[in-house]
Chains A and B, each alone.
Chain A
Amino acid sequence: MEIVTLGGKQIEIDEDGFIQDPDAWDNAVAADLAKTEGVDDLTDDHWKIVNYLREYYLEFSMAPMIRKLCKQTGYSLKEIYDLFPSGPAKGACKVAGLPKPTGCV
């Protein structure tokens, strides 16, 4: 594991750049994580997705189904890819401070 500075804090990330301690996450951390994903400014559209992922994760301890994410937030998968170039699992979940999704997803 590697320790990096995100949002002014020293935070541990894994081999894929996902933070290890979801509790260390805050808006400033998200903004810095977004930069590692090539997103320099988090717009309201980004936040809507990030917040949904965050809330779902806090309730269910995992990322939601991609189709559920699209349906609940109203963004198509293409729009999510436009916002987070690595896509919902490797991009949006990373910015939202979730661990990397596991299994064949």
Chain B
Amino acid sequence: MKVLVTVKEVAEPDDDFAVEGTDIAASDLEYDLNEWDDYAVEAAVQLAEAGIADEVVAVTIGPERAEETVRMALAKGADRAVRVWDEAFEAGFADVAAKVTAFEAVVETEDPDLVLGGVQAADTGFGATGVALAERIGFEHAAVVNDLEVDDDAGVAHVHRELEGGVEELTDVDLPAVLTVQTGLNEPRYASLRGIRQAQRKEIDAKDLSALGLSVEDVESSLAITSMYEPESESDAEIIEGDAGETASRLAEVLREKGVGA
């Protein structure tokens, strides 16, 4: 079977950052593979190693810069990658449906049996793409999966869905399916030097909208970010000033007052 993994390059603000307009200044952002997608890549690669998947294809919607992130997925064992980008995405904030439209077109060409993605993107935190994609392409789905066993012959994925409060739901999901992967599902590997070298030779197929048979109207977003600001702190925390010794001694005083360590 074929596995498609959605991988997003996410932005993380530096400790010191400034908001410019409706986003954080580009110079104050670092980019990385989304943590949840790292677990999804690992799950896909493990399926390949177990002989269940014959091909693992990574797909991203992102600018050229995102190829670095995609290469990480390739270095960890994905066979090849598709990168979708278009000027149309630069214009504003792509909503879930717009991204799903692009992924749907990729699914049509790739024809996967299983799509793995992350529970959420660390930066925008929508937590919605996988389930929306499943609905669009007519696949079954399960969100927040922290245990996965694929029975290819039976056409079923046995999963645990991690609910709130230390309860897991055991579910059998018919394939083809989209699963959103929770951290802790596995232990994501580090890319080996050999993997990194091999990744350089693997194909990243860059496609714009017209290559996918889509037009700008197809990915029009229904959402617009109109402001961004640092939230006002709700607490009046006492920030203890001084060097490590001074702060520790003031904190010790506070803790003793609360009866700690007595």
Q: Do A and B come from one complex?
A: no
Binding site for B on A (CB under 8 A): none
